[in-house]
Amino acid sequence: MLPHIPQMRVFIAEDLGCHMDDVNVKATTTEKLGFTGRGEGIACEAVALLVKAAKMTDFDNLTWLHGKPEGHGLLKASPEDFVVVEDLGFEPDGEGEHILVRILKNGCNTRFVADALAKFLKIHAREVSFAGQKDKHAVTEQWICARVPAMPCPI
């Protein structure tokens, strides 16, 4: 069974119209479920039952267990729906061996950006710091500090 599981996941995902990562197959040969290819065995039966259940369910007319909700909402999923702006709390004075860089990012985590800044500045990643990791799945503006002693301004 084990050698067939990756291909089973691909077939099941195709049949259900979902991503392969959303499919998990757990069966052992001791269960004697069998799988010889597409259209046979437990994978085919499971997909057929799931598709049949989905077709039989009228999701728009399901009843409410405790009555219809009094309010409604909208689930937001786009990074642009979530905006984080970090307030530095003071005005940089332009002096010292640290530079402050204001970063606007979308789809990147803070550590990745800090490491990229260190590489750009040709300094070790430990010389770059920040006040908390901001959400990767949001539009975030934050300050990153880099220690660059005796280095002319690189930017």
CATH of the domain at 125: 3.30.70.3160
Residues 47 and 83 in one domain: no
Question: pTM surpassing 0.75?
Answer: no
Whether residue 73 lies inside any domain: the answer is no
pLDDT digits (tens, 9 = 90+) for 88-120: 888 888 888 999 999 999 988 999 999 999 999
In angstroms, rounded to a whole number, what is the distance separating the alpha carbons of residues 147 and 126? 9
More confident residue, 103 or 25: 103
Whether residue 23 lies inside any domain: the answer is yes
Q: What is the residue range of 122's domain? A: 79-147
In angstroms, rounded to a whole number, what is the distance separating the alpha carbons of residues 149 and 96? 8
Residue 137 burial (CB count, 10 A): 13
Q: Which residues are catalytic?
A: 135
Whether residue 70 lies inside any domain: the answer is no
In angstroms, rounded to a whole number, what is the distance separating the alpha carbons of residues 11 and 16? 9
* pLDDT of 36 higher than 50: no
Total count of domains within the chain: 2
Contacts of 114 (CB under 8 A, 6+ apart): 125, 128, 129, 130, 144
Q: Which helix (H) or strand (E) holds 145?
A: strand 139-147
Pairing between β-strand 83-85 and β-strand 128-130 as defined by DSSP bridges: unpaired
Whether residue 74 lies inside any domain: the answer is no
Whether residue 84 lies inside any domain: the answer is yes
How many H-runs (helices) and E-runs (strands) does the chain carry? 3, 4
Residues 95 and 43 in one domain: no
Whether residue 65 lies inside any domain: the answer is no
